[in-house]
Amino acid sequence: MSRKINLHLQELAELIERYSEEDGVHSTAIHSLFLIRESITSEPIARVNETSFCLIVQGEKEVLLSKERFRYGYGNYIVASADLPVTGRVVKASSDTPYLALKLEFTPHQIVEVLSEADIQMGMKKNTKRAMYVSKIEPFLLDVVIRLARLLEKPEHIPVLAPLFTKEILYWILHGPHGESLEQMAIEGSKGKRIRNVIEYIINNYTRSIKIEELAKIANMSNASLHRHFKEVTAMSPNYFKKQLRLQEARRLLLADSSDIANIAFRVGYESPSQFSRDYSRMFGLPPREDANRMREKSDKR
C-alpha cells in the first residue's frame, strides 16, 4: 500500500476518533455518513445491512451472508448494493487500537443519476452478481472519501459539497473492479433491479406468507428464473431470506421486552412456536430465551 494511502487512512482514523469518542455507530452532520468505533471484539450480531459503502481504517470485521463469509480490514471497503440480512462481528479491536470504519449510505436514484450524468454504458442483459463484495481501496476513491470526511470540520460547506462528493464516490465505485454489482441494482428493467424490487417487497411483508408465484410476478420472471437470480444476488433463496428477517426481528423483540416466546413467534409470522424455536436455535446457536439471557448478560458486563 502506498505511503499516500497510508497517510489518508491515518487521517481518517484520527477524524473518526475525534467525532466518536465512545463505542457505537455515530451519525454525523452529513445525514448519510456514519462513523463506527468498537474497542472490543464482538459477538455475532444479526441485522439488515443497508445499501452502503463502508471503509475500514483500523481493525477487522467479518460478515456472514448466508454461508458466504467476508473478512475485511485496514484499507478494505465493502459495498452492499441491496439491503441484505447479514451476521457481522468485529474480530480485531482493542482499547488501544479500536476498530474504526466509515459508512456512507446511498439510494438507487443516486446511482442512476451518476450513471446518466457520466454517460456510463448501462448493460440491461448482464448476468446478475452478488450484491455484496469486498475490495482494496483505490487512490481516487480514497481521495474523495477523505474530502467528504473533512467536511465534518467545515460544516458550513456540507449542503453544497457533500452531495457532490457522494456522487464522486459512487462514480469511482462504479468504475472500480466490481462496479457492475452496484450498477445492476439501479437500472430500470434489469434483472438486478427486478430482484431488488423483490427484496424490498419481502422486507416490507416478511411477517406474512408469501408464495413464490407472487414474487415471480413482481420480478416478471418464471419461478425457476426468480429463484436462480435471487440466489445469485443474495446467496440465499427467497424463503430463507424471509426466515432470516423473521428471526432477526424476533431476537430484537426478545431483547426489548418480556413477551413470551409463542407471542413473539406469532408477531414475526410463525404459525408454530415449536418450529420457531427450532429455526431460532439453528440460526443463533441457542433456544430463544437462553440466547436473550446470554445477550443481556454480555451487555451488562460490557
> Who has greater pLDDT, 18 or 119?
18
pTM of the predicted protein model = 0.89
With a cut of 90, say whether residue 190 has pLDDT above it.
no
> What domains can be seen in the chain, in order of their start residue?
3-107+129-182 (2.60.120.10), 249-301 (1.10.10)
In this prediction, residue 43 carries a pLDDT of: 83
With a cut of 90, say whether residue 184 has pLDDT above it.
no
With a cut of 90, say whether residue 39 has pLDDT above it.
yes
Q: Find, among 227, 224, 170, the residue nearest to 195 by Cα.
A: 227
> pLDDT by residue (tens digit) across 252-275?
898 887 678 999 999 999 999 999
> pLDDT by residue (tens digit) across 161-174?
999 999 999 999 99
**Pair 102, 151: CB distance under 8 Å:** no
Which sign, positive or negative, has the C-alpha torsion 262, 263, 264, 265?
A: positive
In this prediction, residue 302 carries a pLDDT of: 56
Q: How far is CA 164 from the centre of its chain?
A: 23
With a cut of 80, say whether residue 277 has pLDDT above it.
yes
pLDDT tier for residue 120 given thresholds of 50, 70 and 90:
low
In this prediction, residue 122 carries a pLDDT of: 56
